[in-house]
Structure 1
């Protein structure tokens, strides 16, 4: 028996590729119908009131040279108090985060914290960096 090595292969056998495509199609159909099934219920309608929405967090930043920013707007301590009172009139339970630079004077951060305490702002967070060990 002699092999004919002179003949070039001019056609590709696509049967294994079609078998794979059909198997993938069947798996996709089975998985899709399995996730759709369930018990049908009448879901309640939600009200239009934004009661579940989170209030906007106010960020107070204190730079290394003692400048105070509220949401990237430079303010003095008196202006900060005025803006926080206005925000508190809209929503008394708004969250505040204080971002103090590590090189700033400690009394700058304490002055802002004292102001927040004076205004009875209880939802307060201090932003820090995680220590890398």
Structure 2
């Protein structure tokens, strides 16, 4: 015992803390993959639809155009007409189909009363679908 005391060294101690960094890295990669693929999955829906005779698209919608210019003239399908002729042509269009749409094109300078008179003539003829046509505005 003269040579000294022998000491035992302790071995490696187990790590009791969990290293969370790799777990967070993997989760972030999975989130990025999910964010990238989710929109692709929603827009690429492929369906094999059944076939049916009644599923044919209907005829193109019917419409007539009525124009009012700044000079006070009235046009039906780009043909100048008098108010009496306009009423007759609107009635003919209503006889061809009650779902016919009247596309009303009026100049900015046309008084509101004239526009209302044309709308009234269309409704009197039996055409209740009236669309107002305008130019797209500039941004």
Change (3 A) 1:54 1:112: same
In the superposition, the TM-score normalised over structure 1's length comes to 0.59
Q: What is the CA-CA distance between 1:62 and the residue it aligns to?
A: 0.4
Correspondence for 2:92: 86
Q: What is the CA-CA distance between 1:55 and the residue it aligns to?
A: 3.3
Gaps of 5+ in 1: 1-37
Correspondence for 1:104: 110
Residue 60 (str. 1) matches residue 66 (str. 2) = yes
Over the aligned positions, Cα root-mean-square deviation in angstroms equals 2.6
Count of residues in Structure 1 that have an aligned counterpart in Structure 2:
93
Partner Cα distance (1:99, 1:70) in 2: 10
Whichever of the two has the greater Rg, that structure is 2
1:48-74 CA distance string (max 9 Å, x none): xx9810232101000111101011111
Match of residue 117, structure 1, among 112, 117, 123: 123
Partner Cα distance (1:122, 1:59) in 2: 14
In the superposition, the TM-score normalised over structure 2's length comes to 0.57
1:36-94 CA distance string (max 9 Å, x none): xx97x9844569xx981023210100011110101111101110110111111111110
Q: How does 1:10-89 map to 2 (within 5 A)?
A: 43-45=51-53, 52-89=58-95
